[in-house]
Structure 1
């Protein structure tokens, strides 16, 4: 879908980008990616070039869906069903590798193996049996095979895959020679500047609209995680970001900026569950990553 309009505002998770000041029109694409609304704003491009680029982006997002969707047929659902994924694609290996690094840096707070526990809590079942299935140490990753070593295990990349998609789209756009772009695929990345020449920036807000911080986006990615953004379980009593040990989230919102949207995504998810000392230690492991807000 290709439209031409003035950039007004863009919303992702709990982040709201301020309106451009008298900016000329730019090319905009809207669609869906990994179950979320997606939007890309392209500055300084001819119509045909924009249309061709957006077509390539749609193909790239479809490929990522085939790898990491938790609902459609994908590499991830096949792994969860069979416990084994032979000859994983390079993108799959790359995301598993990054997930392992974030897991280690956050002391296990980021753990994609929480999926059985998440389902048990969401469905109001006894979480005890599911909690026994949680543990990244039980995921074996090689170039030849990814294997879940305990029957009944299942993974979710909902805390990192949208950031990975954002990174891949950003790489594609850079390779195509475009330098002034805003990408919102659940997480946000800004390249270059807006139509009016001002740098991309974001106002980070809670679900009720209360602003808690502002941050620049040019050359950076922003991820915002909020446990209360989605409620699960009987009566919606639980936030959707859950501790692998079953503890409650410590924070209402965590926002991280980093050169990589996938890294920012994984860290912001984990930081909702961590104390400040542990967060500071994790950030030291990733130069360029910064805590933008913690409430």
Structure 2
């Protein structure tokens, strides 16, 4: 599979790292990973190393809940048997947010596409697109309506499987922001593949973000707000770069090539993440209607394919 999504977005923090006076401490820039994506935390604080160590521990804890690639994660255990008793709060919370995004997008954001996604990945790895019969079989395993969850258990049909890759990176950014906020911290940029700006830039003003979704580039300012971007062809299954990773749960096909980049701003990075994913399958009119359905959501960039 070809990965190129990160080229679409950059935080212009590096250029500002030395913008303070001669006596100002430099910005501290931690880099690691979260659910397979590059993760960074940028701040200025005398205890920056301690603060980012706490964030690393939180990322590790949440990976053990949301990862598809750890056999012992909560999500992997659920997918293996179709039921998870006494699920962690964070998984239930994320599913609740996913349900709201599912409803707002008319079902186009749907974490139950995992069997379909796995089919596409395996088929293209073998050198060919999946056939219509195999797609129909993968789609028959279950839908969002077949998922049931409460504090006692998450239950779904045995053949079903979930992927939270379209929401969990944003959710992790939100949880780190909550961790920092509880310590009274501010002026921190959290990037776990999606952005959550806690306060503004330590040098003053907002965090400058560049969205490279075609010419001209879009520059926005972010403060106490989250931002997520999805690119239908940012990750592709095939060598030709035409079969994008965002799949339509209604048709079983990759997203039609309408958009190069969809960027959404919201109070929650998880919600922005989920909506930007589902919106890749929608027309401009549908996108704005979905944004209006959830308080505080704004569509900040729609870049068409050239």
TM-score, normalisation: structure 2: 0.86
Match of 2:54 in 1: 56
Kindly indicate whether residue 211 of structure 2 is the aligned counterpart of residue 204 of structure 1.
yes
Match of 1:144 in 2: 152
> Are the counterparts in 1 of residues 200 and 224 from structure 2 also a CA contact under 8 Å?
no
> Are the counterparts in 1 of residues 97 and 271 from structure 2 also a CA contact under 8 Å?
yes
CA distance in 2, matches of 1:85, 1:22: 49
Match of 2:289 in 1: 281
What SS does the aligned partner of 1:238 have?
A: coil
CA distance in 1, matches of 2:115, 2:239: 17
CA distance in 1, matches of 2:288, 2:52: 38
Deviation at 1:17, TM superposition (A): 2.1
Deviation at 1:23, TM superposition (A): 1.7
Deviation at 1:217, TM superposition (A): 0.9
Kindly indicate whether residue 16 of structure 2 is the aligned counterpart of residue 16 of structure 1.
no
Match of 1:35 in 2: 36
Q: Give the paired residue count.
A: 279
Deviation at 1:12, TM superposition (A): 4.7
Match of 1:254 in 2: 262
CA distance in 2, matches of 1:200, 1:292: 15
CA distance in 2, matches of 1:71, 1:84: 18
CA distance in 2, matches of 1:201, 1:137: 40
Output one character per residue of 1:16-60: Cα deviation in whole Å (capped at 9) or x when no partner.
2223285231112111111111100112x11xx222211211111
The 1:172/1:160 distance shift into structure 2, 3 A limit, reads same
Match of 2:126 in 1: none
Match of 2:235 in 1: 230
> Are the counterparts in 1 of residues 227 and 263 from structure 2 also a CA contact under 8 Å?
yes
Unpaired segments of 5 or more residues in structure 1? 1-10
TM-score, normalisation: structure 1: 0.89
> Are the counterparts in 2 of residues 12 and 187 from structure 1 also a CA contact under 8 Å?
no
Unpaired segments of 5 or more residues in structure 2? 21-25, 124-129
Output one character per residue of 1:101-127: Cα deviation in whole Å (capped at 9) or x when no partner.
110111000000001111112222331
